[in-house]
Amino acid sequence: MKKILFFFLAISCCGSLAAENGYECWLRYTTADKSVIKSYRQRIQSITLFGTSSTIDAARFELSTALLGLLGKTIPGSNSIRDGSVIAGTTSSSILLSKNITVSDLSQAGTEGFVILSKIIDGKNCTLIIANSDIGVLYGVFHFLRLLQTAQPIQSLHIISAPRIKLRLLNHWDNLNRTVERGYAGSSIWNWHTLPGYIDQRYTDYARLNASIGINGTVLTNVNANATALTRPYLEKVAALANTFRPYGIKVYLTARFSAPIEIGGLKTADPLDPAVRDWWKQKADEIYSLIPDFGGFLVKANSEGQPGPQNYNRTHADGANMMAAAVAPHKGIIMWRAFVYSSENPDDRHKQAYIDFTPLDGKFADNVLVQVKNGPIDFMPREPFHPLFGAMPKTPLMMEFQLTQEYTGQGTHLVYLAPMFKECLESDTYAKGEGSTVAKVVDGSLDDHSLNGMAGVSNIGADINWCGHPFAQANWYALGRLSWDHQLSADTIADEWVRQSFSNHIPLVRDLKFIMLSSREIMVQYMNPLGLHHIMGTGHHYGPAPWVNDLSRPEWNPVYYHRADSFGIGFDRTKSGSNAIAQYKPEATELWRDSNDCDERYLLWFHHVCWNHRMRSGQTLWTALCMYYNMGVDRVSVMKIVWEKQKPFVDAVRFKQVSMLLDIQYEEACWWRDACLLYFQTFSKQPIKEPFVQPTHTLDYYKQLRFPYAPGN
């Protein structure tokens, strides 16, 4: 009886628990929360949208579809003001709106922002959504819908919101054959073969989802680029996507293969100073802009991991970037030039190489070039210190590159909410201009006054029905959008919004899912890469642990290069006595890392090679601490599982089962990481894995012989 009562209570507090496939992501528009629906119905009785553009049409569609779902009835359009009017538009499209907003509010909204106001007009309670541009109106509508979906009060609104960052981009690592490099959610959503004739509904829904979180650009193709994407037939396909995305304020960008003038242009060289090469890029840009007048520009990976680049011709990265910049500049295009470079010929610590290559070029890039920098100096590891380039190139806009796809953070099977990691980096202090010179201020341009600025996330989207594979991976896409709009939002706030919209407003569920999400990144660090370990994953596919690998052609591709375990101890000495990578940071920024006896232990083995009996703050030896963290990570995954199981009454059966199965896999894989790593490191420490820590199930040889020939994303 008790059980039945509980079931009914659960249903009544959560609304419909119909099976969900996750396709709608955070735009589900299910019935509004019981606590607010009555007041919403009073406050929302008619909608008026001023304007005639396709963007305003998109806003109208979104508002009417969403309100039907949330309020359970069609909300009529209306030309007159009444109690409960929701009125949206630009000030230039409506005198009513321009009369009811202050100049100051409007100027704070800027070109893409919006103002949402509760106003009494002619004695009637109205809600106004006002912007300076149509895209601002659409963003305002999405924000209003977010308030409704998250059960916020809407009686007395005075919201002014404008993006802190100008370019808010997804970077797809999608190949033309529809494979996705480091993709764990199926094949690419771009069906190049059927484009441009066939416009999949997914393309529109992709644009809606992105616009709802403020993303305003997408790089469609892999940075390991294929010049074919720049040929006429493909440009026509790209134009069809651009047309679909345009109403949603999303520009398209392409990756440019540096050797394209040779591969598809028939030239003998791609030397950036060669007039014929320069002319080829100019003509290519003209051709692109004739098809796509608002084309965003190019993202370029050059002289990195086998990609061609200007250094093939003894030119600098600036020479290469500026040549392309000159080609797109007449069309207001931009170049995003990646700083992810390291060379097999350079024996120096990989951590240092991008800084060494790029800092001398500060001030040498054209005005329409941004240098795109990964959050950390190695490669999207579970935990890295911030990249030393941040704060070191004041004359150059540095764009942030985060990775949403979980290449090194659990791939398709681990629940890891990455916003805490993104925030950790953004809030790091570079001390470039004294205390408070955070990475966020470098990236949003405020530290060095760059009006061109940007943040990108390597996409985790694929053709899986729920877009991202793991139901919780959607939260990382969501977080990128929200943080690039406002990097001051906390990881907690973003998780709160996402859970409420993606699951429900049921308070215990919101609390528990946030608990899982907010602890998940640290848990993953503990069972994979505790204490500053990094790059100890499997070769090629990067799946699972393989700290023993020592036979790859390039030294810096081998895990042993990074952990340096030996009979004395473990860790990479990056202080003065070692590679001295630490000197690439301002001294104040390194205070917490410099001394191995006083180092922030989260970075201990990143910066120091310490002995196995090194005393930790807790008084434990390093070896015991390593055993403890690996075990703690695994134990905490089992807590995640328990907390998830409690949600069964509050989550639809399909997603509940999906996440349960994935958590089981995550647990197994966490055990695998723990056992394989501890067994391997034990061969150096020569110390036992003592009680209460778990004894590994298999031998080290067992873990070493595991093979995954078809692991995804490789």
| Residues catalogued as catalytic | 305, 379, 407
Q: Is 600 in the site for ligand GCV (CB under 6 A)?
A: no
Rank residues 339 and 570 by Cβ distance to ligand GCV and give the closer one: 339
- 306 or 434, CB closer to ligand GCV? 306
Q: Could you tell me how many residues of this chain bind ligand GCV (CB under 6 A)?
A: 10
Q: Counting contacts by CB under 6 A, is residue 174 touching ligand GCV?
A: no
Residue 210 vs 403, nearer CB to ligand GCV = 403
Whole-angstrom CA distances from 292 to 113, 194, 442 are 25, 19, 31
Residue 89 vs 183, nearer CB to ligand GCV: 183
What is the separation, in whole angstroms, between the first and last Cα of the chain? 52
Q: Could you say which residues in the range 303-322 bind ligand GCV, by CB under 6 A?
A: 305
Question: 234 or 342, CB closer to ligand GCV?
Answer: 342
Indicate left, alpha or beta for 266 from its phi (over 0: left) and psi (-120 to 50: alpha): left
Largest CA distance in the chain: 83
Is residue 340 involved in binding ligand GCV (CB under 6 A)? yes
Tell me which residues in 210-249 interact with ligand GCV (CB under 6 A).
223-224
**162 is a site residue for ligand GCV (CB under 6 A):** no
Residue 88 CB, nearest approach to ligand GCV (Å): 40
Site for ligand GCV in 244-283 (CB under 6 A): none
Q: Please, what sign has the CA dihedral across residues 109, 395, 348, 597? A: negative
- For ligand GCV, the binding residue among 166, 168, 182, 208 (CB under 6 A) is 182
Q: How far is the CB of 540 from ligand GCV (least distance, A)?
A: 9
Task: Give which of 157, 147, 43 is closest to 105, Cα–Cα.
Answer: 157
Q: What is the DSSP string of 26-55?
A: T---PPPPHHHHHHHHHH-SEEEE---SHH
**Which tokens sit at 502?**
């993606």
User: In the complex with ligand GCV, which residue's Cβ is closer, 174 or 424?
Assistant: 174
**Residue 707 bridge partners (DSSP):** none
Can you state the percent helix, strand and coil of the chain, rounding each to 5? 45, 10, 45
173 near ligand GCV, judged by CB under 6 A: yes
Using the rule CB under 6 A, is 181 a contact of ligand GCV? yes
Q: Which of residues 287-306 bind ligand GCV (CB under 6 A)?
A: 301, 305
Smallest distance, ligand GCV to C-beta of residue 320, A? 16
Min CB(208)–ligand GCV separation in Å: 27
> What is the distance between the alpha carbons of residues 131 and 464, in angstroms, rounded to a whole number?
35
152 binds ligand GCV (CB under 6 A): no
User: Given the DSSP bridges, would you call strands 610-611 and 569-570 parallel, antiparallel or unpaired?
Assistant: antiparallel
3-state SS, residue 708:
coil
What is the distance between the alpha carbons of residues 667 and 563, in angstroms, rounded to a whole number? 24
Q: Which conformational region is residue 320 in: left (phi greater than 0), alpha (psi within -120 to 50 degrees), or beta? A: alpha
Residues 365-394 that bind ligand GCV (CB under 6 A): 379
Burial of 33 (0-12, 13-18, 19+ CB in 10 A): buried
Tell which positions 407-446 bind ligand GCV, by CB under 6 A. 407
Task: CB nearer to ligand GCV: give 221 or 647.
Answer: 221
| Least distance between ligand GCV and beta carbon 20 (Å) | 32
> In the window 533-572, what residues touch ligand GCV (CB under 6 A)?
none
Sheet containing 114-121, strands listed edge to edge, beginning at the edge strand earlier in sequence: 46-49, 85-90, 124-131, 114-121, 158-161
| Contact set with ligand GCV (CB under 6 A) | 173, 181-182, 223-224, 301, 305, 340, 379, 407
